Amino acid sequence: MEVGNIFRHLLVHNEAFVKKTDETKFLAYATHQNPYITLLTCADSRVQGEILGIDIFNKVFIIRNAGNQVAINRGSIEYSILVLNTPVMLVLGHTDCGAVKFATHACITQSEEIVNLAKSFDKLIKTDYSKISHEVKSEMLPLTIPIERGIPQLEKIRNEKKELAYLSQINVDYQVEKALKYYGNRVKENKLTIIGGIYDFVGAYSKELGRILITNINGVFNTGELQEMARKIIKRIPSYNESSEGYKLVCQLIEEKVTRIES
């Protein structure tokens, strides 16, 4: 889009937002905020707050960087968790992640053994990243640590779309592991639940595009244990009726969406 149109959109669409939004919404939180989710996600433009399906105003404290990395934004994360006391931290990766692709390329082009394990990535191996700046590379290179963990399992998957999603999943596990290192005491005290997930817009997990798959809860990533933990969390809702249609629907969604790509 041409810059003039981009500038016009900024002015016109914000004014439309102002006109349709009751000013009491702004006045109620003019001097404070009380979000209940710390969302650490990727800077990718395809990943936006609306995928949560809720009005995220004053509900979601959003932190973004390439590859949803904990180490890059410790200050912002700690402000949200320790000052604003959000009870949930959601580490959200996504399919077709450019940062994961870069880290994968960095791994497989430096080892003949790894190249042989990543046979589906012929196109990625040939990708030229030489023009990417030093600053960009420096931010994404730490992702090679979790990616190296996942690459040996790729032989069992044999599908590039699923393989990249699997590596994003492994990265989320690593970031949850990091978060538990720093905030594990709050998890033990039931003040914080750390959830890992993948936003799937390519159909790597199912034919339903746009789903968020829950792949990790507080460091648990075995699918059976994950689903059981998810059901226990739902049962913590006061006066929740297990015979209700609402509960049955949630249980069905747990079966479908609390899952992983297994190697």
Q: Which residues contact 235 (CB under 8 A, 6 or more apart)?
A: 242
148 assigned to some structural domain: yes
262 assigned to some structural domain: no
What is the reported pLDDT for 126?
A: 77
* Low-confidence winner among 129-133, 191-195, 256-260 (lowest mean pLDDT): 129-133
263 assigned to some structural domain: no
The answer, yes or no, to whether residue 118 has pLDDT greater than 60, is: no
* Residues of the binding site for Zn(2+): 42, 44, 94, 97
Percent of the chain scoring above 90 in pLDDT: 68
The answer, yes or no, to whether residue 166 has pLDDT greater than 80, is: yes
CATH number at residue 95: 3.40.1050.10
pLDDT in tens, 57-115: 999 999 999 999 999 999 999 999 999 999 999 999 999 999 999 999 888 887 655 55
Between 241 and 16, residue with greater pLDDT:
16
What is the reported pLDDT for 120?
A: 63
What is the reported pLDDT for 236?
A: 86
* Residues of the binding site: 42, 44, 94, 97
Tally the domains of the chain: 1
Count of CB atoms situated within 10 Å of the CB of 199 = 22
Provide the residue type at 109 as one letter.
Answer: T
103 assigned to some structural domain: yes
The answer, yes or no, to whether residue 119 has pLDDT greater than 80, is: no
70 assigned to some structural domain: yes
What is the reported pLDDT for 239?
A: 78
Q: Residue 117: which pLDDT band, with cuts at 50, 70 and 90?
A: low
The answer, yes or no, to whether residue 23 has pLDDT greater than 80, is: yes
What domain range is 9 assigned to? 3-257
pTM over 0.85: yes
Q: Which residues contact 85 (CB under 8 A, 6 or more apart)?
A: 191
Q: Which residue's structure tokens are 């969604």?
A: 253
Phi and psi at 146, nearest 5°, equal -70, -35
The answer, yes or no, to whether residue 235 has pLDDT greater than 60, is: yes
35 assigned to some structural domain: yes
Exposure b/e, 34-47, CB count within 10 A at least 16 = b? ebebbbbbbebeeb
For residues 166-191, average pLDDT: 97
Q: Residue 131: which pLDDT band, with cuts at 50, 70 and 90?
A: confident
The CB-side HSE value for 102 (13 A sphere, CA atoms) comes to 18
Taking the CA atoms of 170, 171, 176 and 182 in sequence, report the sign of the dihedral they define. Answer: positive
225 assigned to some structural domain: yes
The answer, yes or no, to whether residue 231 has pLDDT greater than 70, is: yes
